[in-house]
A and B are shown apart, each in its own frame.
Chain A
Amino acid sequence: MAAGQPILDVRELACIRGDREIFAGLSFTVPAGGALLLTGANGAGKSSLLRVIAGLPVPAAGGEVLLEGAPASTDPAGHALRLRYISSQDALKPALTVAENLAFYAALWGGQVTPALEALGLGALASLPGRVLSTGQRRRLALARLGLAPVRLWLLDEPSLGLDVASVARLGDLMARHRAGGGAILAATHLPLPLPDARELKL
């Protein structure tokens, strides 16, 4: 990677759902160690923007997304492996234990399950089935995926929804370490997030 090259470079991005244009002509960059907060009213297209950048199927999108200089469209599988996307859904299987839920993703992406659980204070819950978790605990288990093998870009959709104060602080530590290691964060949120010096993009 060339010095000074942004981690995420978005050029002229557009998203159309039905015949309604959600956003168009959107261009921005996020440098290494940087963070960008997406704000805006409900339906402004924050989640759609995160999905487009992740490379997930979105009704109609145009423009270009470059991650570390590589266009997302040329190698979708490789693009997916260089980012971590936490959607508004927790993607948990109630029948599997907390550790098994995370171990599946660790098998796909690499990384250690126990430290990732500890980072969000879930160590003591590791052997509980997912179905007994509270909303906040489910959210923390989803966020624990961020503690698996490191990647350069985190896409977070309402990461702190339902979290208590101590868990928001843990998420803050996790995000600070990620940025200190040269990672970038793009977060859509309505709640205040512990992201110092984050720029804001209002959709």
Chain B
Amino acid sequence: MNASVFGGLLAVLGREWKLALRHPSDTLAAVLFFVLVAALFPFGVGPAPETFSRLAPGALLAAALLAALLPLDRLFGAEAEDGSLDQLLLSGLPRGVLAAAKALGHWLTTGVPLIAATPIAAAMLNLPVEAWGVAMAALALATALLSLLGTLGAALTLGARRGGVLLPLLVLPLAIPAVIFGAAAIEAASAGLSAAPFLLLLGAGVSIAAPLAPLAAGAALQND
């Protein structure tokens, strides 16, 4: 990657970051959604600790992925509405790099705050404190995978009618491995076992999606 492409990537990232700071409502909405969904489960299943220990890992993952989906339909939608997308497409950045910058921006402004809020949600679900670290690591990888797949989904559904509904239908089935391995990692940690194999599998998923999803998203933007 040459210097100007890297500089362009940083410029797009910096802009995403600034916009998220000026309009924190999107990020806040995702975090509150995550905490509230986690808080709903105890009401539904009752306060028995053993039920919680079965439920907590899956509930955490599902709540986080649903929360991370919330701002995705605006990822390219907001840019297309005000004409910025045309300028971004003419920025001289390869379109795959542009999509990678948007995916990274989504992860930094949505995934990272969700990771920071994980202890609150984990406490609501009575997850043992020893497993909180692994829960945060699992959510870090799972949200990264969702940001990548979600960017692809957002690029594909851009301009489609009811794109906001289509996007979760497209992305969530692809995110099933993130739920399986993420929940397994948290479950292993709360049982005192090693979570490393599951985290490594999640990491493998992220490292496959990291180059491929932005390339596909870039191609989708090209043929909008």
Instruction: Mark A residues whose CB is within 8 Å of B.
Output: 51, 54-57, 77-78, 80-81, 83, 85, 87-93, 95-96, 100, 104-105, 107-109, 145
Contacts and interface: CB of A to CB of B under 8 A. Distances in A.
Contact of A77 (B19, B84, B87, B92): B92
B224 A57 contact: yes
A90 B90 contact: no
Contact of A104 (B11, B22, B221, B224): B11
A107 B7 contact: yes
Contact of B86 (A77, A87, A93): A87
A52 B134 CA distance: 51
Contact of B82 (A56, A81, A91): A91
A129 to B, nearest CB: 8
Interface of B: 7-8, 10-11, 14-15, 18-19, 22-23, 82-84, 86-87, 89-94, 221-224
29 contacts: A51-B86, A54-B86, A54-B90, A55-B90, A56-B86, A56-B90, A57-B89, A57-B221, A77-B92, A77-B93, A78-B92, A80-B92, A81-B92, A87-B86, A87-B87, A89-B86, A92-B82, A92-B84, A93-B15, A93-B19, A95-B23, A96-B18, A96-B22, A100-B18, A104-B14, A107-B11, A107-B14, A108-B11, A145-B87
A95 B11 contact: no
Nearest to B97: A77
Contacts of A88: 83
Contact of B15 (A51, A54, A90, A104): A104
A196 to B, nearest CB: 28
A87 B83 contact: yes
Nearest to B92: A81
Nearest to B85: A91
The 8 closest A-B pairs by CB, nearest first: A89-B83, A107-B11, A95-B22, A91-B83, A81-B92, A80-B90, A91-B84, A57-B224
Nearest to A110: B4
A77 B90 CA distance: 7
Contacts of B93: 77, 108
Contacts of B92: 77-78, 80-81, 108-109
A80 B8 CA distance: 14
A49 to B, nearest CB: 15
Contacts of B23: 95
Contacts of A100: 18
B8 A93 contact: no
Contacts of B18: 95-96, 100
A80 B89 contact: yes
A104 B10 CA distance: 10
A95 B23 CA distance: 7
Contacts of A85: 86-87, 90
A95 B93 CA distance: 24
B83 A93 contact: no
A78 to B, nearest CB: 7
Contacts of B22: 95-96
Nearest to B159: A57
A90 to B, nearest CB: 6
B219 to A, nearest CB: 11
B87 to A, nearest CB: 5
Nearest to B87: A91
B87 A57 contact: no
